[in-house]
Structure 1
């Protein structure tokens, strides 16, 4: 948690003022019982009314000053802790944005959401309290003991003897709650994971009548979290009564022994009243300290989870120095070359791709086809460096993609992913996601080429029609066409279509491919497809089989010479269509 405190640096003035205000407030609280004792012993006992008014007025001024300091400390502590939480969330989000898919796979989306929200909130809440208690508790405790000793040394041993007892209670509770707080955060991650899977997969769950199964999963995760929370809160709930019991027994002991001291002439009534006040101040200081000892372990567990993300360095980073030859230079803009590329997913036993070599030139359509799990999407993901190759090299215009900045590399690519993803906003905003400064004419032209203009025109608000979260108010085919329009408006030198036509009917598929031809004459097109009809007209077809290239050529060449491609074709087309 100490490492995270460096994010308080911009608020060091506010934090300093908080500490100063709490210090002054504590001094005022410590001084008030002494003034009260003086009013009793020197004013009430002697009947000196002017003295009572004078000291009483002074007490009001001290109390007012303490109240002002308390309000100022509360305001500044909340403001600085809130700013700390905001800055830390921004830092964490910006850091996660740099992660490759490896890091996302390693931590998990649900856990990242929990760490960015719940964990930071835990640290922020403790920080708000800690800025006040870290000064107030020791000052009130030791200051109260000193002031109590100044009133009566013998009676002070009652309080001094109770402090170790309370310290042992706090230590026992802390030792038992720290591991439970860590477990509670992990179980919160699990609950978020189950909930996220349920909400995103609700259609599949209902289609297969698995609602009860999912309810059971959620109930298990929820029960585990609840049980852990109950165990933790039971300990926290037991702490306060125990502390209050000790305080009340201490008060009884002080009043009993103090009465004896007054009878013997060892102390005055005002001193006993002040002593009782100091005893309560010391006990409340210890209670606040115990609350911190309970809250800090949970915040420490959360801080460790946050720091784990901040310490995690992405394995895909920009080069220290930019390559001399940047993408886009030279005549062959967008020229792609795979040179003996092999790739293995982290933790996998086998390669997903093995010894892949091919080229794709501007103005050409290169199609990739193969069975499920043959590595088609994996190959596409290596070009924008979502993953780095295990062996070999991926080059664009003769430059290794690892020697290019990720911004420059991805700026040259228009990707249409296998799973079309849309964002909350209008249709126009979703298309402009590819090129923020695109004009209305460019947006409409991209939609026309992508065969999306017709259904957009039928919507009540046209291009200003709203897309709901995840694009649930449009069909799969409409989402794909909008994703294609988003890539087209970018006008990149490289287009990557990762099975982007699967949700389209054959007629729309044919019209879209025909419209793409004149729009991409100067760009390199890589198309991953399952349908033979989609790749038949490609300039080059790459046939993948179990992560290896089984053949490269045109449709006619592969049909004549490649057994795997012939099997794919005959499984989809009739003899008349093949002829």
Structure 2
């Protein structure tokens, strides 16, 4: 019941349209109830008395009533669809906005396919109930009881005897409702898994083909598809059993009425007009009961789909601005302090596995800090705490002496330009990708950023220059080209803090050298963190921090670390040996 009430809350903004649809439904129902009564009078008052004027008048009345009903049905159909679409619009808007607020902690666990399934199929199931099922349910109830009242007023005995098939019909509906709910719950879940498998395959199609794993992926999809098929067939079996039984009892009601009506007409206890009206009215009893099976289906789909949507909307936002909006980050200078910082991804475990432990680091404004370490040493995690992609589980990260948790979150992130290790470009023009962080940037500003990233010459030689559309995730560009577009995007932000996470890992040494020369100007007066494995990328670092298993193992200038026996010197020796062997 709580789920249903929550769904109905989304109807409230469209209350005037919902009431309009309800009013039109009342008009259509009244017309449906009056039409058989008019038919009775055509027979009893017109044909029986050979009064053709009455027959013509009442026939024209029936025609007019059907015209009114048709116009009302059109308006009702439009308004109830409008209500349903407004609910879909609001739900999708609310869910999408909430997804934007959720932190990386949520996305580390969430499956993209499941989220897509909830955003599309599950919300659509809710719309079907709100825009169609609920109104049809009300229409059916009003029609059934209105018909019953009219029939009882005309001939109570035939009416009551004809209703003898209703109890077993209600039993069938009750049993169907009990079983179809869980069935639809399984279908929604299986559809989410199928969507996840499809999404992962399309996103990773290059990996699939690189490892010639097409058959393996086909097998995986076939398994999910078969599970979805089996679940739907279980639901179809329930419907195939219940719906014919409902139809049988409904048809039996009609046959009983025909037989009893004929007997009562023969005895003179029912007029021919009433008998003809009863044939029409009987469908007013059968139709709502038969439609109830479909309405139960729609209702159960919505009840199983809505909680999956609300689960996302109700997910707690664990990283956001302070309640008062936070401190304006526009004046951040760039002094950064990690004060005894520790961090673990899963803090719910009895003994959390810390990715970072007791990090103590002070960075002055304009200082260039290189961060080195083996894979998994915590380099990217350390930088992620700057932008509050995650919050430290112990200690604090501060900028200009203010804990980052006290800044306005949007302003904080706009103060940090990041070139991530995994470059993501949108399916848009190159101009829009470079200007993503500053959509108001002029063409001159975009081109200046591209020049500094050593990508301008390549762009202007493309068919449409900066207006060239690139594929999803930057398809059509090489890894190095994507990385340089991302670098231009960060440069254009003109942030006080710049983070280069393996920013030149995908370019050749000549391009890397050119980029570094351009970055010398960019990094002036700007606090810069460089995560790299190539020592050529950190030559201009003021200090080097070496991480080992989440702890600072070494820290100092390049010369100071060369004099120590540690990771930095071993890395230098390895790269010198590799360079010598390749020369």
Shorter-chain TM range is over 0.9
For 1:352, what is the secondary structure of its paired residue?
A: strand
Aligned to 1:339: 339
> What is the correspondence of 1:382-461 to structure 2 with a 5 Å cutoff?
382-461=385-464
Aligned to 1:327: 329
Q: Aligned residues, how many?
A: 574
**Please, which moves more after superposition, 366-375 or 106-115?**
106-115
Question: Which residue, 276, 279, 283 being the options, matches 1:280?
Answer: 283
Aligned to 1:200: 203
Structure 1 residue 549, shift from structure 2 partner: 0.7
Alpha-carbon contact 2:397-2:403 (below 8 Å) kept = yes
**Please, which moves more after superposition, 125-134 or 269-278?**
125-134
Aligned to 1:559: 562
Aligned to 2:77: 74
Residue 574 in structure 1 maps to residue 563 in structure 2: no
Q: What are the superposed Cα offsets for residues 29-51 of structure 1, whole Å, 9 maximum, x if unpaired? A: 01111111111122112212112
Structure 1 residue 281, shift from structure 2 partner: 0.9
Question: Which residue, 212, 215, 220 being the options, matches 2:218?
Answer: 215
| 1: CA distance, partners of 2:162 / 2:322 | 64
| 2: CA distance, partners of 1:478 / 1:184 | 43
Alpha-carbon contact 1:459-1:465 (below 8 Å) kept = yes
Structure 1 residue 479, shift from structure 2 partner: 0.3
For 1:415, what is the secondary structure of its paired residue?
A: strand
| 2: CA distance, partners of 1:548 / 1:425 | 41
Residue 378 in structure 1 maps to residue 359 in structure 2: no
Question: Which residue, 509, 515, 519 being the options, matches 1:516?
Answer: 519
| 1: CA distance, partners of 2:7 / 2:409 | 29
Mark the CA change 1:328 to 1:464 in structure 2 (over 3 Å): closer, same or farther: closer
Residue 31 in structure 1 maps to residue 31 in structure 2: no
Question: Which residue, 173, 184, 192 being the options, matches 2:187?
Answer: 184
Alpha-carbon contact 2:377-2:548 (below 8 Å) kept = yes
Residue 368 in structure 1 maps to residue 371 in structure 2: yes
> What is the correspondence of 1:470-481 to structure 2 with a 5 Å cutoff?
470-481=473-484
Q: If the length of structure 2 is used for normalisation, what is the TM-score?
A: 0.95
Alpha-carbon contact 2:499-2:530 (below 8 Å) kept = yes
Aligned to 1:85: 88
Structure 1: any 5+ residue segments left out of the alignment? none
Structure 1 residue 83, shift from structure 2 partner: 2.0
| 1: CA distance, partners of 2:577 / 2:109 | 45
Question: Which residue, 278, 290, 293 being the options, matches 2:293?
Answer: 290
Alpha-carbon contact 2:185-2:304 (below 8 Å) kept = yes
Alpha-carbon contact 1:184-1:225 (below 8 Å) kept = yes
| 2: CA distance, partners of 1:387 / 1:158 | 70
Question: Which residue, 130, 134, 150 being the options, matches 2:137?
Answer: 134
For 1:319, what is the secondary structure of its paired residue?
A: coil
Q: What are the superposed Cα offsets for residues 223-247 of structure 1, whole Å, 9 maximum, x if unpaired? A: 1111111221232244332222212
Structure 1 residue 576, shift from structure 2 partner: 9.4
> What is the correspondence of 1:83-162 to structure 2 with a 5 Å cutoff?
83-162=86-165
Structure 1 residue 296, shift from structure 2 partner: 0.7
Alpha-carbon contact 1:537-1:555 (below 8 Å) kept = no
Alpha-carbon contact 1:543-1:549 (below 8 Å) kept = yes
| 2: CA distance, partners of 1:2 / 1:572 | 65
Question: Which residue, 354, 358, 366 being the options, matches 1:355?
Answer: 358
Q: What are the superposed Cα offsets for residues 291-335 of structure 1, whole Å, 9 maximum, x if unpaired? A: 111111111111111111111121112111255x64354xx7011
For 1:320, what is the secondary structure of its paired residue?
A: coil
Residue 317 in structure 1 maps to residue 325 in structure 2: no
Q: CA RMSD in A?
A: 1.7
Q: What are the superposed Cα offsets for residues 372-406 of structure 1, whole Å, 9 maximum, x if unpaired? A: 11111111111111111100101011111111111
For 2:92, what is the secondary structure of its paired residue?
A: helix
Alpha-carbon contact 1:177-1:297 (below 8 Å) kept = yes
| 2: CA distance, partners of 1:434 / 1:541 | 29
Structure 1 residue 497, shift from structure 2 partner: 1.1
Structure 1 residue 25, shift from structure 2 partner: 0.5
Structure 1 residue 493, shift from structure 2 partner: 0.4
| 2: CA distance, partners of 1:130 / 1:539 | 68
**Please, which moves more after superposition, 250-259 or 28-37?**
250-259
For 2:357, what is the secondary structure of its paired residue?
A: strand
Structure 1 residue 131, shift from structure 2 partner: 4.3
For 1:544, what is the secondary structure of its paired residue?
A: strand
| 1: CA distance, partners of 2:145 / 2:330 | 70
| 1: CA distance, partners of 2:156 / 2:108 | 64
Structure 1 residue 426, shift from structure 2 partner: 1.3
Structure 1 residue 127, shift from structure 2 partner: 1.4
| 1: CA distance, partners of 2:382 / 2:201 | 30
Aligned to 2:493: 490
Structure 1 residue 481, shift from structure 2 partner: 0.4
For 1:561, what is the secondary structure of its paired residue?
A: coil
Structure 1 residue 428, shift from structure 2 partner: 1.1
| 1: CA distance, partners of 2:435 / 2:111 | 29
Mark the CA change 1:336 to 1:45 in structure 2 (over 3 Å): closer, same or farther: same
Alpha-carbon contact 1:37-1:274 (below 8 Å) kept = yes
| 1: CA distance, partners of 2:385 / 2:24 | 57
Q: What are the superposed Cα offsets for residues 541-567 of structure 1, whole Å, 9 maximum, x if unpaired? A: 110111111011111111212412222
For 1:171, what is the secondary structure of its paired residue?
A: helix
Q: What are the superposed Cα offsets for residues 484-537 of structure 1, whole Å, 9 maximum, x if unpaired? A: 000001100011111111111122112211211112212110111121221233
Structure 1 residue 569, shift from structure 2 partner: 1.9
